[in-house]
Every structure is written in C-alpha cells, then in structure tokens.
Structure 1
C-alpha cells in the first residue's frame, strides 16, 4: 500500500454534503489542499452520486496524488430528482443502490475510473457495510460481499488496478467481522477512534496492528463536535444533534484544552495519529479556509501536560497512546 501522509482530504463536502458547493468552489478547495501539500484525497460514488469523484477527476488531472474511492453502491439514472437526497444537495441525477456483488463492484469501479479520469486507484474500499446501516439486511449484504465483492476487489488488486483494499465504514464491529473471514490492507473508520470516542482500543486496534492492517481515521471531529463552536451554538455528533452526555464530555475536553491554550480541534486532529496502526486522518474540507485551519491545527504544538491532564480527568482511555508518549518512545 502507498505510504499515506498524516493529513488527507475528506471529499464528501465537494459532493455537496448538506450544502451545495459550486464547481468553482470545489476546484478552489482541492487546489488549496494541493497548494498546502496535501496529496491524499478520499472520495466515493455516494458523495453527490458521482459529483465528488467527477470534481476530483477534473481537479487532480495530471497530479501525483493518492486517491481512495469506494464500491458497494451502483448509481442508477433518475429523472427529476429531489433537490436534497440522502444528505446531498443539488447532486447528480442518479440514485445510489447497494450492491456488494462481484458484478456490482466491478461496475462501480469502472464507472469511478471514468469519473476520476484514471486507470487505477491507490485504495479501494467497500462502503457502508454494517448492521447499523443495513439492520436486518446486514447478513445478506455481508454474504454478497464476502462471496462476490471481495473476490472482485482481490482480482483488481492482483491485476494492479488497485493498490490496496479494505472497508470504508462508520462501524467498528463490521471491521472485526470482516477480519474473521478475509484479509485487508486498510480500514477507513469514521468517528470511532477520536478524542471523544476510544473504545476501538479494546481489542480492535491491537488486532489491526497484529494483522498489519492500517487505519485511516475519518470524521476526526465526530461530525463537528470537536471543532470550536460559538458559545451556545449547536453541537453535532454522529451526523445528528448531540445528546446531553456528549455535550458535557465535549465541554470537559474543551476546558482542559483551553487551560493549555490550545484549540480543541488541534488536539482532536493530532490525537489519533499517535496510535501505530493509524496512518492518516482525513477531515472533511469544504473551503480553502477549512484547509488552512486543518494545516494550522496539525502544526499546533501540544504540551505533554495536556495529555496527562486529559487522562487524569478520565477523558482518555487508559491505554491510549498520545503524541507525547509516541515522541518519547
């Protein structure tokens, strides 16, 4: 697998997630990421139903960039789509349909290559498997993937059309389940190993380290909960309004960071990278200003006492590596 940079670019926002972004704005934010030295870009057919991939293809044409995209849905043309569908606004006129079969994965991959204007991708991820996503249909989708889609991904990797394969999911449990049946290079796990949520340390991350599976941390801010917000502003977690317990924990994290004079977002962005299984973090970026913020947070010095205070407050898992502990190793 290609060596991933510590900071990558999450491409859902340029697929018009929650808000419309013009082609010009999308080009500007990807150009800003390139100018800042970011060379890893993650996208998916689901993001704007092809829109994010198309915009990445246009902006990254001729660029030496690492690209990951996903399979597990095929896009079917529709007439007169609603303005907002599945969280995407003014997206392309397609409907995403889950399909983890061999043929579905191959069809999805070929369409992605056309939109990305490439003949291969560095990382291919099976998107949104899991019981939280599919409920009672999860066993059928997992069976279709293991019996068909996984075989397709392995063939693509063996043929050199893909550099590495894995899952791109929001659920830790489905990664553990997949490891029971097959081998993977990488998991893109969104929101499950962050400054706010660290249960992945209880077995899962050690298992990945033992198996040589790398982790890409998506959603390092837990849907924005770990980014500084104006006083009284709403706090979101896991794509919805946060409950009282999450709000209280975020405020405790914020107070400890403030006592050390560092932004909560800087601690949140740097924390996951201390684990040896974590290769990259990929916050979503919707504007050049957000690119600049991410770069600044990655470069913010964080005192060792910050991590010891967070642990003393019960806000860090007892076994969580920190940037300070890794630097001292």
Structure 2
C-alpha cells in the first residue's frame, strides 16, 4: 500500500452538505475500456489501487464504457461505508439497447455492452438517468451530479450547444435542484469541455461545482479571464479533469504526443518543450508540475487524471508528494509560459 500524500479540500454545497475531496481523484473513463479493453481483473486491481493510494474521490459517467465504468466501481463502493468517499456521476445521456454494430463509441470504447447514447437533458431524462446509475453503482445516494457535455466540443457548434443548454435549464436543471433538495444528491453542477460554456451555466443557475476538462492546466489558463473569478465570487468549486491535456503534459513533447485528443501541433510541442526545460532547471519533472499546478487555485477541489493500470494510479499518487520550488512558477511566468495572475501551489 502506498503511503498517502493526498491532501483534502472541503466544499460546502448549497444544500449545506460538506464534501471532502482528496486533492487527487480518480477519473474512471479508462475503466470503460477507453481506447483499449481492460481485463476484468486489471480493472478491479486498478480501482483497488486508487483506494489503497488514499484516493477518496471517484468520478464516473454512464458514457464511460456505456455503463461499464459505473458497473466496475460497484464492487468497491458496496463494501465501503458511504461516508468514506465522494462520488460523482453524470446525466444527459440515456443508454439504449441496440445491435452491436450500432453501438456508440466504436473505435473509442472497446468490448462494451451494445448500447447507444441518446442525449436527453429533460427533467424526465435526468430522473431516469439517475435511477439507472444508482442501479449500476449499487448505492442509494450520489454526492455530486453533473450535467454532462452541453458544450461545443460534444455537439459540434455553438448553436447546437446553446440548444442543449436551453434544454437543460428549462428541464433537467429543475430535476437536479429537486434531487439536491430531497437529498438524493448533495451537490449539482456540470461536466464541460469549455470554460466559456461552464461560465454561461454558472450564471444561469445555482450550481455547486463544475468539472472542467483540460481548460485550466500548465498549458492553458484562459479560464482565469472570467470563469474562475466568478466561481470564487459565488463560492463554486471546480474539479479539474484532463490535467495532462490528453497526455502531452505527462509524456512530454515526444513524437506522437496527444493534445486535446489529437496529435499535438508544432506550436504546442514547442511550448511544452520550453516548459519542460524550465522544470528540468529546477529538478522537477514536467508531469509533477502539471499535476500540481491546478491545485494552486483556491476554487479547485481536486484533479482527476485517469488510470488504466494499478501502477499508473499509484504513480499519480506518488507525484502528489513531489516538492515544487516556488522559483519554478516565477520562472515560468518570467518566460511568458504561465499567466502572471495564475495562483500557484504553496
């Protein structure tokens, strides 16, 4: 068992519930056979490695493996005391049984149930999605319920994203608020790929938390423009997904490195190489700086890299114990590689 280096950050939801997030969470998209199939034993070992490493925050979604990720969390969660962990899942997609050749995610999710995602951000759609998730997870309550992917990245255009936002705010949002009021969930929010869309939602409703994927990292800090200050003003917490920007901040600027799910373009490779050189001058690995940086912001309650094997999860936990000299952050700012107004870890 790894000795835990993980800090804990508390967030008080609008319901008055106090949620205690480990600064390192576990994003479970890889448990859904993302990009490659996991053997059942390896999946179980990976989940258990996260727990043994001290991780107490788990994020999942119906999309991840078309129900498979939630199902694979079930054995761990059912043997734990409910108060000993924080769990988030998502709504906005229902899973429809279809022939194998019609399933969602062919080429992305492997060896999954034959299901097809059906977007549904309506009141009834949210209520049905929660019921199905509770069954797959084998539990009775959810700590954080995120509306999933009402963004441009997912729906292809601002117009399509705006339609989904209206659908959510006119329907599903009221279901989220009711579930929070009744205590089935403790906090509500949205999991989003663009900070601008997250800010639109934050200003439209009374949300507790947002899961922002890849938009506040060692490479990108535009969310400081207005979204993160608004979160600070309204006491909204932020879970930071994708702290490695799909891999390049973990692997470095090698050939074939991925940035935002695509091969990294030359400009990104060059910027990462410059960041890596500054890190090396301080005896710090790029991956260490990347995982620790988002936690410098007071609204960030947890970072949630994924892991497809026990050793990956264990390594992330070990990285959290890395000591980062303050001079690293000031040098990055001095070379124009980090925004001047970016708060940094102490």
Q: Distance in 2 between matches of 1:146 and 1:99?
A: 12
Q: Does 1:179 align with 2:202?
A: yes
2:3 corresponds to: none
1:271 corresponds to: 293
Greater displacement, 211-220 / 73-82: 73-82
Q: Does 1:42 align with 2:59?
A: yes
Give the secondary structure class of the aligned counterpart of 2:100: coil
Q: Does 1:99 align with 2:120?
A: yes
Q: Distance in 1 between matches of 2:146 and 2:20?
A: 16
Quick one: structure 1 residues 96 and 86, their matched pair in 2 at CA, closer, same or farther if it must change by over 3 Å? farther
Over the residues paired in the alignment, what is the CA RMSD in angstroms?
A: 1.4
Say whether the 8 Å CA contact 1:131–1:138 is kept in structure 2: yes
Say whether the 8 Å CA contact 1:48–1:91 is kept in structure 2: yes
2:97 corresponds to: 77
| 2:87 pairs with one of 67, 81, 87 | 67
- Structure 2 segments unaligned to the other structure (5+ residues): 1-12, 14-18
Quick one: structure 1 residues 289 and 171, their matched pair in 2 at CA, closer, same or farther if it must change by over 3 Å? same
Say whether the 8 Å CA contact 2:96–2:117 is kept in structure 1: yes
Deviation at 1:140, TM superposition (A): 2.0
Q: Does 1:188 align with 2:211?
A: yes
1:141 corresponds to: 164
Q: Distance in 1 between matches of 2:208 and 2:154?
A: 23
Deviation at 1:242, TM superposition (A): 1.0
Deviations 1:293-324 (CA, angstroms, capped at 9, x unpaired): 1012110111111111111111110100111x
Q: Does 1:108 align with 2:125?
A: no
Deviation at 1:232, TM superposition (A): 4.0
Give the secondary structure class of the aligned counterpart of 2:283: coil
Q: Does 1:90 align with 2:90?
A: no
Say whether the 8 Å CA contact 1:169–1:188 is kept in structure 2: yes
1:129 corresponds to: 150
Give the secondary structure class of the aligned counterpart of 1:75: strand
Q: Distance in 2 between matches of 1:195 and 1:171?
A: 16
2:335 corresponds to: 313
Deviations 1:213-234 (CA, angstroms, capped at 9, x unpaired): 00000000000010135x8431
Normalised to the residue count of structure 1, the TM-score between the two structures is 0.95
Q: Distance in 2 between matches of 1:86 and 1:52?
A: 17
Quick one: structure 1 residues 291 and 153, their matched pair in 2 at CA, closer, same or farther if it must change by over 3 Å? same
Say whether the 8 Å CA contact 2:102–2:116 is kept in structure 1: no
1:207 corresponds to: 230
Deviation at 1:82, TM superposition (A): 6.3
Say whether the 8 Å CA contact 1:190–1:219 is kept in structure 2: yes
Normalised to the residue count of structure 2, the TM-score between the two structures is 0.91
Give the secondary structure class of the aligned counterpart of 2:48: helix
Q: Distance in 2 between matches of 1:26 and 1:65?
A: 19
Q: Distance in 2 between matches of 1:77 and 1:29?
A: 28
Give the secondary structure class of the aligned counterpart of 2:247: coil
1:223 corresponds to: 246
Quick one: structure 1 residues 16 and 82, their matched pair in 2 at CA, closer, same or farther if it must change by over 3 Å? farther
Give the secondary structure class of the aligned counterpart of 2:96: strand
The alignment covers a number of residue pairs equal to: 323
Say whether the 8 Å CA contact 2:102–2:114 is kept in structure 1: no
- Structure 1 segments unaligned to the other structure (5+ residues): none
1:52 corresponds to: 69
Give the secondary structure class of the aligned counterpart of 1:276: coil
Say whether the 8 Å CA contact 1:130–1:173 is kept in structure 2: no
Q: Distance in 2 between matches of 1:170 and 1:198?
A: 14
Q: Distance in 2 between matches of 1:147 and 1:285?
A: 36
| 1:162 pairs with one of 185, 189, 196 | 185
| 1:20 pairs with one of 21, 29, 37 | 37
Give the secondary structure class of the aligned counterpart of 2:233: helix
Q: Distance in 2 between matches of 1:27 and 1:128?
A: 27
Deviation at 1:280, TM superposition (A): 0.5
